[in-house]
């Protein structure tokens, strides 16, 4: 889908209704701007619970340990802290 829109004086662009509906964007929805070279991709921000669910589904259920959300968050926080130290 390609739709052309002009950038306004304040640097704003209106996201067309068809695209808002397709992405499920409603007033107050956060979006992510991903810039690669001279291209910009706009994505609806994922719910953190959905992100964790997607993350957990990478490993087949047969090989997964039962972890609660708190334990998963703790593990992710520890990994993030390790990355900051490096």
List 32's β-bridge partners, or say none: 43
3-class DSSP state for residue 31?
strand
- Residue 23 — very low, low, confident or very high, per pLDDT cuts 50/70/90? confident
Closest of 83, 44, 52, 86 to residue 69, by C-alpha: 52
Asked if the model's pLDDT at residue 21 lies above 70, the reply is yes
- Kindly report, residue by residue over 39-76, the tens digit of the pLDDT: 998 888 877 777 777 777 766 666 666 777 888 888 88
d(CA 86, CA 83) in angstroms, rounded, equals 5
Q: Around Cβ 30, how many Cβ atoms within 10 Å?
A: 9
Can you give the pLDDT at residue 14?
Answer: 92
Average model confidence (pLDDT) for the chain? 82
Q: What percent of the chain has a predicted confidence (pLDDT) above 90?
A: 24
Asked if the model's pLDDT at residue 34 lies above 80, the reply is yes
Closest of 56, 55, 77 to residue 65, by C-alpha: 56
Can you give the pLDDT at residue 59?
Answer: 62
């Amino acid at each position: 889908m390609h739709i052309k829109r002009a950038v306004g004086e304040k640097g704003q662009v209106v996201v067309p209704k068809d695209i808002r509906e397709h992405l499920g964007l409603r007033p107050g929805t956060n979006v992510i701007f991903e810039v690669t070279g001279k291209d910009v991709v706009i994505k609806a921000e994922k719910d953190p619970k959905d992100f964790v669910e997607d993350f957990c589904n990478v490993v087949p259920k047969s090989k997964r340990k039962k972890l609660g959300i708190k334990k998963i968050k703790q593990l992710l926080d520890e990994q993030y802290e390790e990355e900051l130290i490096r």
